[in-house]
Structure 1
Amino acid sequence: MVTASGVRIGWADLPGHVRDRIERIIGGGPVVEALSQTGGFSPGTADRVRTADGRRAFVKAVSPSQNTDSATMARREARITALLPEHTPVPRMLGTFEQDNWVVLILEDIVGSHPRTPWVESEVDAAAAALAKLAQALTPAPDLDLPRVTDYVASDFACWAKLAADPPADLDPWLVANLGALRAASEHGLAAISHGDTLTHCDIRADNLLVRTDGRILIVDWPWGSLGPAWLDTVMLAMNVLVHGGDPSRLLVGLDPDDVTGVIAGFTGYFHWQSRLPPPPGLPTVRAFQRFQGDALVPWLRARLTA
């Protein structure tokens, strides 16, 4: 199994004046402990920190010099996180700032861990409950002047056409034989998610969720927050369960099967196209993870389209 984990800098790698400003926002004196967290692909920091008087926070900081897109995503995440109502199952924002090209987010530190993969039933159910609560709280979205999901994924869902123009030699033969059907399914999926006024997370997977000690789940990492249908995040959860070898069928009860197939077909095409590109600066492991996801989704997709 390939994990969703990149190569990060840590708290000590931040400039001293940036660390000083973070400590002032958290309060309680200097940071005396910083534990770098795995998961995700940003090359910036992801540290659980503790100050001298015991106050805790989760600090994320990244610079465009590491990866331009990562800095842009951090800015988007800061904007989206600030919009989320207090009763949503997400960590609270404690502060954010930009200084000397560093984009910094300071969040509530949550005692917990990522769901286990392969997924276990109790955590699938807890994640589904958190997403249902999230959709209820964010429909309609707290700010309708936000990008739509389709603004982010329209080009991603067109990747089967790119693959059809020059099929890679290592592309699964069944995929090659069914590129037309996969392209049509993806087009259907894109149309299905072009409606809706819910603020969706749009990147639900195990490393973007935290299981609290009481079993409840919080949703973290919001750079792709955008307007779409309330069911989209549940389909993305189902897709991650599939990627890790599980059965997501109970998550999909009541959803239009063609919409579900279309969305998963669209992301599968994206994973297969992207995984064959050179890695972006500062993100050396992301292509292997994309290939892992793309390959893992093919058996389910084959069964759905064949049926």
Structure 2
Amino acid sequence: MTSATKTRIHWTDLPGHVRAAVEEILGDPVTAAVSQSGGFSPGTADRVRTAGGRRAFVKAVSPAQNDRSPALHRAEALVAAALPAATPAPRLLGSYDDGDWVALVFTDVEGRHPVTPWDAAELAAVLATLETMAAVLTPATVPTAPNAADQLRYDFAGWHRIAADPPADLDGWARSRLPQLRAAAERGLAALAGQTLCHLDVRADNLLIGPDGTVSVVDWPWACRGPAWLDSLLVLINVQVHGGHDPEALLRARPLTADVDPADVTGVLAGFAGFFLDGARQPPPPGIPTVRAFQRLQGDALLPWLARRLG
């Protein structure tokens, strides 16, 4: 499992007017709040209970924690408000935005993150849920959502930046294949056309498995329009990172990925690997000290898979 940011604020750290706005959305005073672990946001992530027994999930942040996080909350509010009822995701109850603080209030989904290394039954449930979700979200229900290629254009140029300034600890195989990796990532970017609303950040800590096995997909700020198979591939990247199964066998077995052009899959994997490894060498963002180590973990895990696919 990924490591959460160590600087997350809690419900009691929120200004009084922000807490009051959340309570107005809920229609009842909050009497208890439990901070949730996981993820990388430095803002709040609290399961709350009101005086009348109502439960909800609240996330709130301001530029004081991280200058980019409020914009991500605003983007998520737009997406969450437009998700169809059949989407396996928490329902947005309301949001608050005073230009500084942004707070989102969701239905509280009972559940836990999938275990890692991945359990076979949990992984099958997640992949089946993503296949159903892709059908529900095609065509995309947020017409203003960016195209995946536009969303990832800078990220997928990571190998170009690495080639221009290779880090001293760059993997030897990657160093010898930089032109091939650059070309593959460009092919991957071109493969991202599609009209499915994709989550774009599906991994174990953005999934909840309920007591009945139901899977919920949480945290939607990066949603974009792309191919129906993209979120399934992202889960397989997470499987490669944490282990437990052969992602190649899963690619061949699942209906959304089985017939995708192998060169397109390789290209998207190359694009993400370049993004992770280029990002990992940057200074950590304010309030999010652990994200660079996780990017390095993901990039390092993808290189053997790419070597297997590229030969």
TM over 0.5: yes
Q: What is the aligned partner in structure 1 of residue 290 from structure 2?
A: 285
Matched AA of 1:19: R
- Superposition map of 1:116-127 within 5 A: 116-127=115-126
- Please tell me whether residue 20 in structure 1 is matched to residue 25 in structure 2: no
3-state secondary structure, aligned to 1:126: helix
3-state secondary structure, aligned to 1:77: helix
What is the Cα deviation at residue 65 of structure 1? Answer: 1.9
Q: Which runs of 4+ in 1 moved over 4 A?
A: none
Q: What is the aligned partner in structure 2 of residue 264 from structure 1?
A: 269
Give distance in 1, aligned partners of 2:50 and 2:185.
49
Give distance in 2, aligned partners of 1:59 and 1:281.
21
Let me know the Cα RMSD of the aligned residues. Answer: 1.2
- Please tell me whether residue 214 in structure 1 is matched to residue 212 in structure 2: yes
Matched AA of 2:237: M
- Superposition map of 1:115-154 within 5 A: 115-154=114-153
- Please tell me whether residue 232 in structure 1 is matched to residue 230 in structure 2: yes
Q: What is the aligned partner in structure 2 of residue 10 from structure 1?
A: 10
Q: How many residues align?
A: 303
Matched AA of 1:34: A
Calculate percent identity across the aligned residue pairs.
Answer: 57
Report the TM-score, using the length of structure 1 for normalisation: 0.96
What is the Cα deviation at residue 24 of structure 1? Answer: 1.9
What is the Cα deviation at residue 30 of structure 1? Answer: 2.1
3-state secondary structure, aligned to 1:223: coil
The answer (yes or no) to whether the contact 1:126–1:215 under 8 Å persists in 2 is yes
Give distance in 1, aligned partners of 2:231 and 2:250.
11
Give distance in 2, aligned partners of 1:250 and 1:215.
23
What is the Cα deviation at residue 145 of structure 1? Answer: 2.6
3-state secondary structure, aligned to 1:68: coil
What is the Cα deviation at residue 199 of structure 1? Answer: 0.6
Give distance in 1, aligned partners of 2:93 and 2:249.
36
The answer (yes or no) to whether the contact 1:234–1:251 under 8 Å persists in 2 is no
The answer (yes or no) to whether the contact 1:45–1:61 under 8 Å persists in 2 is yes
Q: Describe the shift of the 1:196–1:100 C-alpha distance in structure 2 as closer, same or farther (beyond 3 A).
A: closer
The answer (yes or no) to whether the contact 1:4–1:207 under 8 Å persists in 2 is no
Q: What is the aligned partner in structure 1 of residue 107 from structure 2?
A: 108
What is the Cα deviation at residue 250 of structure 1? Answer: 4.0
3-state secondary structure, aligned to 2:184: helix
Q: What is the aligned partner in structure 2 of residue 223 from structure 1?
A: 221
3-state secondary structure, aligned to 2:68: helix
What is the Cα deviation at residue 4 of structure 1? Answer: 3.9
Q: In the TM superposition, what whole-angstrom CA distance separates every residue of 1:63-89 from its partner, at most 9, and x where no partner exists?
A: 012112111100000000101000111
Structure 2 residue corresponding to 1:302, chosen from 274, 293, 307 = 307
Matched AA of 2:223: G
Give distance in 1, aligned partners of 2:145 and 2:88.
20
Q: What is the aligned partner in structure 2 of residue 275 from structure 1?
A: 280
Q: What is the aligned partner in structure 2 of residue 180 from structure 1?
A: 179
Matched AA of 1:265: A
Is 224-233 or 246-255 further displaced after alignment?
246-255
Q: In the TM superposition, what whole-angstrom CA distance separates every residue of 1:261-288 from its partner, at most 9, and x where no partner exists?
A: 1111110111110100111111111111
3-state secondary structure, aligned to 1:94: strand
Specify every segment of 5 or more residues in structure 1 that has no aligned partner in the other structure, as ranges: none
Specify every segment of 5 or more residues in structure 2 that has no aligned partner in the other structure, as ranges: 253-257
Q: In the TM superposition, what whole-angstrom CA distance separates every residue of 1:79-137 from its partner, at most 9, and x where no partner exists?
A: 00101000111110100111261101000101100111111111111111111111101
What is the Cα deviation at residue 235 of structure 1? Answer: 0.6
Q: Describe the shift of the 1:238–1:56 C-alpha distance in structure 2 as closer, same or farther (beyond 3 A).
A: same
Give distance in 2, aligned partners of 1:224 and 1:30.
31
Matched AA of 1:15: P
What is the Cα deviation at residue 144 of structure 1? Answer: 2.2
Q: What is the aligned partner in structure 2 of residue 54 from structure 1?
A: 53
The answer (yes or no) to whether the contact 1:144–1:197 under 8 Å persists in 2 is no
Matched AA of 1:65: A
The answer (yes or no) to whether the contact 2:33–2:47 under 8 Å persists in 1 is yes
The answer (yes or no) to whether the contact 1:201–1:225 under 8 Å persists in 2 is yes
